[in-house]
């Protein structure tokens, strides 16, 4: 019983440290903010659509049914797709961090106090950090052949924050003119 409790505490502490690290990276990101109307217009959640299919079981099942396919080939394909998925995930995290940094900057520079937007910002960052931790755990399980990875929550959070930023920019640009 003591061993189980100790293990649970260690795992909980490790997850807490990882979650804190992720939140810290998300809130500290965006030092080089490419905030412009063009950048916001070009930013789209559609660029992360291929992630949704990269790790799905259907492709592996199809390939396994093809002549000449062996387990080493499937393992190599799964590994390559996880690497590509991690690159997409890194890009998604960077985009989310930049959007949040831009919103933070606009909140600070705003003539009006926006506690509602600040609360939304922190809530979305926490949800994104939790989703990111979940995705990384599922990636580990995927490497063992035990899970698929769902990124809909992360993409939804990024899109939500992008829309918030897009709503703020015309007001800020119009006020500055």
87-91, long-range: CB < 8 A, 24+ apart: 88/48, 88/50, 88/51, 88/54, 89/51, 89/132, 89/135, 89/151, 89/154, 91/47, 91/48
Residue 37: CATH number of its domain: 1.20.1420
If one counts the domains in the chain, the total is: 1
Question: Which range of residues forms the domain containing residue 112?
Answer: 2-176
pTM of the predicted structure, to 2 decimals? 0.73
Confirm if 86 and 55 have CB atoms less than 8 A apart.
Answer: no
Tell me the Cα Rg of the chain: 20
- Residue-wise pLDDT tens digits, 96-147: 998 898 888 888 888 888 888 889 999 999 999 999 999 999 999 988 888 8
Percentage of the chain surpassing pLDDT 70? 84
């Amino acid at each position: 019983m003591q061993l189980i409790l100790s293990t649970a505490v260690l795992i909980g502490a490790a997850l807490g440290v990882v979650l804190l690290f992720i939140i810290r990276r998300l809130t500290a990101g965006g030092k080089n903010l490419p905030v412009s109307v063009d950048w916001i217009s070009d930013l789209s959640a559609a660029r992360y659509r291929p992630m949704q299919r990269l790790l799905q079981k259907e492709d592996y099942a199809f390939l396994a049914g093809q002549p000449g396919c062996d387990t080493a080939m499937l393992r190599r394909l799964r590994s390559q797709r996880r690497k590509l998925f991690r690159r997409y995930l890194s890009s998604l995290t960077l985009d989310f961090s930049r959007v949040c940094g831009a919103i933070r900057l606009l909140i600070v520079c705003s003539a009006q106090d926006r506690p509602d937007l600040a609360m939304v910002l922190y809530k979305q960052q926490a949800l994104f950090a939790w989703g990111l931790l979940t995705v990384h755990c599922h990636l580990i399980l995927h490497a063992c052949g035990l899970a698929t990875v769902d990124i809909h929550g992360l993409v939804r959070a990024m899109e939500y924050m992008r829309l918030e930023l897009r709503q703020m920019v015309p007001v800020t640009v119009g006020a500055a003119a």
